[in-house]
Chain A
């Protein structure tokens, strides 16, 4: 049974490993995955601890239905205090690691301390071994995984790894499994690096009993049909997330020249259709019928012959639109390089294109770049900077520190060109024409982020009846809803609603593409509750799933408050308010966020959350959610 899956505490300083059961009341309060991770972080991370020190716990988890029948039960969640922001560190990845962890008998690993020498963990059917990784240290993401499989003489082993960037403590180094599945954000790879932990290998052959196997099988079919019958999924099956570019670029909802424009005019070479030049097919994460990434072989240039997977919409932005390079090769190579080194693709692209803007403005010179012509449109310079960041050489060493630290080191007014929230860079989507998406970016618990609360369907201008159906369930909401993405009205609730949905799905371990993220008729709270029941035998109402999400999200908020983040950090950089968009369709052109309206929207958002005007959860809310005694140290 999923409920039999355990939690293990591993101390890399002492070599001690302790295994415990997860009490059912903790499942009722947090379900699992990111929800229980939030509890573990709040309870195990000492206030103000050094994010790259031994006290920062690295928490790795599988959702409650990982490896079970729930349309796409593939997701691994990773949490720690972020070395990039000093706030919540949280990253989520697909692939095959989480199911394997569940087959190996575990749902949560809490890793503390610091190993003296490079090590990796081997989790195998209830046992956990700390093994020497000195031979694997220094290896890239792809080869490190293969070497571990060879060393363990088992090609079925799944490996979560940090690349050379994480070893060198690049503050936005990611964790990866496979060629492309990345726990990308908030620098979780640097936390691994700081612990001398190169990888976690898992192999499981234990039975994962399904509570109601035949019913779960049939329900899984229903969920899959729900997901793949939608047009958006069918488009994803063919093109992956790259399809989004066609829409956002045409409209003018995409950042180019770092933040100076919002459309890549004539940017047809990086259109998704051109992936067919190099694609050998698509690939799916565990159990997923959307299979949204491509397997490709680079055809031309210095990287010809290289096998890689992806790229995603994010990499189109990082290595296409933001550096203003209308060349698919730039995207394909950039995507490969960040995966090879284990870098967050978004942050890497954001840092380099920020530096390009500084170079353009003369704030950075050839002396700073070591002679690299860091101009917009220069793909070779872009690739070179990726190498330099990963290896912490020259300017790359400064950019590897992330936005705020890098701006401090460069000085010369460079900070005002940053585009970040809470010290984490924004996606290349341009939220100036879309207040709901701007609020989502400003308030997400892990810093600027589009996968923690984005009401992406707001962009569809759906009939109001559809919005009513989606956003007034499972919790009653009496306020207004407006189906125009230029509006500020009702958007605070849409952001909050999506926060709850994404938290719930991260507790369960399903993929967001199988929820109301891009598809309006995709699974939601009711389907989550049913999936938990049929697979794990634990009964929840949709409202109870919402309450779990609210509890866990509030704990994430409390963690950030404890680390010194507050209302002033739920805010956008001045550029969002002061620089109107120059390009795009009328609905996107000449747009900037209105400071006063945004402030009102933030107030409304806090009120809906039952947080006070400073964004602090009220005592009544804490009591209602049973959080008044945290940290409670039950697990």
Chain B
């Protein structure tokens, strides 16, 4: 099983460095509208949620594409766009329930390509609110994080 991007919004500090490095890496410019990842903010509650393509197993974008331009890359398990086939109809943008498919200023459909296996958002995020891990180990990590407090409490009794 391939690696996947894991989002932990509780770790996100809302700095948007991921948006910056994503747009520079892919387009050579600083411009969040060209970023594949986006931090959705609820300012008055202090809630920040990173949103990015989930690389769905049964991907709506892929299903809806009339030209079969969207395919799964075998090596990284990511959903990719074949721009030779893409006609820019943007049905995938409409179909994606998460906003994972975007459109840039030139009208080209853009999406997360996991930076060919070295996601820059992960590389730059010190908090690891966005992380890139083996998919089959995701739940083990979450289990460990979930019981960390419990472990602390337990040690008081055991010790």
Contact = CB atoms under 8 A, between A and B. Distances in A.
Interface of A: 67-69, 96, 99, 102-103, 142, 145-146, 155-156, 178-179, 205-210, 213, 216-217, 220-221, 224, 228, 237, 280-289, 291, 295, 307, 309
Interface in B10-42: 10-11, 13-17, 20-21, 24-25, 27-34, 41
Nearest to A212: B28
3 A-B pairs with least C-beta separation: A284-B15, A295-B46, A291-B13
Contacts of A68: 30
Nearest to A217: B24
Contacts of B43: 142, 145-146, 178-179
A207 B31 contact: yes
A553 B10 CA distance: 42
B44 A103 contact: no
Contacts, number: 99
Contacts of A282: 13
Given A103-B30, A213-B29, A283 B20 contact: no
A96 B10 contact: no
A283 B14 contact: yes
Interface string B101-127: 000010000000000000010011011
Contacts of A309: 46
B155 interface: no
Contact of A307 (B14, B34, B45): B45
B13 A208 contact: no
A125 to B, nearest CB: 11
A96 B123 CA distance: 22
Contacts of A208: 29-31
Contacts of B45: 307
Contact of A284 (B13, B34, B105): B13
Contacts of B17: 284, 286-289
A217 B31 contact: no
Interface residues of B, number: 31
Nearest to A208: B30
A99 B36 CA distance: 18
Q: Which of A145, A205, A217 has the most CB of B within 10 A?
A: A217
A283 B13 contact: yes
Contacts of A216: 24
A287 B16 contact: yes
Contacts of A207: 27, 29-31, 34, 105
B14 A284 contact: yes
Q: Which of B11, B124, B126 has the largest number of chain A CB atoms within 10 A?
A: B126
Contacts of A96: 16
13 contacts: A68-B30, A156-B32, A179-B46, A213-B25, A213-B28, A217-B24, A237-B126, A281-B10, A283-B15, A283-B48, A284-B13, A287-B15, A309-B46
A309 B13 CA distance: 12
B16 A217 contact: no
B13 A221 contact: no
A145 B41 CA distance: 14
Nearest to B9: A281
Nearest to B25: A217
A289 B126 contact: yes
A103 B28 contact: no
A217 B32 CA distance: 15
Given A146-B43, A282-B13, 13 more contacts: A69-B21, A102-B30, A103-B30, A103-B31, A179-B44, A207-B105, A213-B28, A213-B29, A281-B13, A286-B17, A287-B17, A307-B44, A309-B46
A205 B105 contact: yes
A163 to B, nearest CB: 15
A69 B46 contact: no
A69 B14 CA distance: 17
B49 to A, nearest CB: 12
A283 B16 contact: no
Contacts of B105: 205, 207
Contacts of A178: 43
B15 A210 contact: no
A208 B23 CA distance: 10
A210 B126 contact: no
A208 B28 CA distance: 9
A224 B17 CA distance: 11
Contacts of B16: 96, 286-287
Contacts of B21: 69, 217, 220
B21 to A, nearest CB: 6
A283 B29 CA distance: 25
Nearest to B42: A155
A134 B99 CA distance: 36
B14 A210 contact: no
A10 to B, nearest CB: 25
A35 B73 CA distance: 50
Interface string B36-71: 000001011110100000000000000000000000
User: Looking at B29, B33, B45, which has the most chain A CB atoms within 10 Å of its CB?
Assistant: B29
Given A207-B29, A224-B124, A288 B44 contact: no
Given A217-B25, A224-B126, A307-B44, A286 B15 contact: yes
B81 to A, nearest CB: 21
Nearest to A65: B30
Contacts of B24: 69, 210, 213, 216-217
Contacts of A142: 43-44
Contacts of A145: 43
A67 B30 contact: yes
Given A280-B46, A284-B13, A209 B29 contact: yes
A455 to B, nearest CB: 28
Nearest to A145: B43
A146 B43 CA distance: 8
Contacts of B29: 207-210, 213
